[in-house]
Amino acid sequence: MEKAVIFAGFGGQGILLAGKILARAGMNRGLEVTWLPSYGPEMRGGTANCTVVVADSPIGSPVVDNPEALVAMNAPSLDRFEGRVAAGGVIVVNSSLVKRAVKRHDVRAVPVPANDIAAELGNPRVLNMVALGALVRGLDVLPLEAVEEAMEEELRGRGRDKLIELNRRALRRGFSEAEKYLA
């Protein structure tokens, strides 16, 4: 098993952290992982993406032609990466910001209004966890609990403890949103 995910969106949407939490969850469950960020001279509001590979054997290339999943948090990200997703793969689209549908018919589209759900949960910044929850359902290689644990490790003890429960709710909400399209 080797699966790759591209997370892409605006800088500030928590793309890199969402990818890191997935990678940490994989590592904690004994898998091999790579987390490769785009690290160009970007600023908040610019574009950001990262590629996460999760595998049960050593990973060669962290650069991936055709990922099994894409998380597109804004329209430019969907435009840029839609064509590269492997046939049969999953595209999680932040439908709060992306107004068009996924064009591909050989992938499973999961539109999730991440901004709206995050606002509803009380903090617009947890949109990345909503999207990650949906991705975890779509990717189907790690249980949601593993990702919740990794999120807790990532936030605990860094002045963000009080955000753990909120982020957990966001992950679960994203997971169940995806269920509507993938069940």
Partner 1 sequence: MSRVLMRGNEAIAEAAIRSGLKCYFCYPITPQGELVEYMARELPKRGGVFLQAESEVAAINMVYGAAAAGVRAMTSSSSPGISLKQEGISYIAMARLPCVIVNMMRGGPGLGNIAPAQGDYFQATKGGGHGDYHLIVLAPSTVPEAAELVRLAFELSDRYRVPAMILADGMIGQMMEPVELPEPVEPEDIPERPWAVTGAKGRPKNVITSFDLEPEGLKEMSLALQETYREIERNEVRWEEVETEDAELLIVAYGTMGRIAKTVVRLARQEGIKVGLLRPITLWPFPYEPVRELAERVRTVLTVELSAGQMWEDVRLAVEGRAETPFYGELGGVVPSPKRILEEVRKYVG
Site size toward partner 1 (CB under 8 A) is 20
Q: Which tokens belong to 63?
A: 């650069």
Is 157 a residue that touches partner 1 (CB under 8 A)? no
d(CA 96, CA 114): 6
The β-bridge partners of 4 are 53
Smallest distance, partner 1 to C-beta of residue 176, A: 27
Choosing from 12, 46, 63, 156, the residue that interacts with partner 1 (CB under 8 A) is 63
Choosing from 18, 48, 64, 93, the residue that interacts with partner 1 (CB under 8 A) is 64
- Cβ closest to partner 1, residue 67 vs residue 133: 67
Q: Which tokens belong to 117?
A: 């759900």
Grouping H, G, I as helix, E, B as strand and the rest as coil, residue 120 is helix
d(CA 167, CA 153): 12
Is 37 a residue that touches partner 1 (CB under 8 A)? yes
Is 27 a residue that touches partner 1 (CB under 8 A)? yes
The piece of 7-15, 23-31, 116-124, 139-147 that touches partner 1 (CB under 8 A) is: 23-31
46 backbone φψ class: left, alpha, beta (φ>0; ψ -120 to 50):
beta
Is 36 a residue that touches partner 1 (CB under 8 A)? yes
d(CA 92, CA 129): 12
d(CA 14, CA 146): 19
The piece of 53-61, 90-98, 106-114, 134-142 that touches partner 1 (CB under 8 A) is: 53-61
Choosing from 13, 34, 74, 128, the residue that interacts with partner 1 (CB under 8 A) is 34
Is 24 a residue that touches partner 1 (CB under 8 A)? yes
Nearest Cα to 122, choosing from 173, 157, 159? 173
Residues that bind partner 1 (CB under 8 A): 20, 23-24, 27, 32-37, 39-41, 59-65
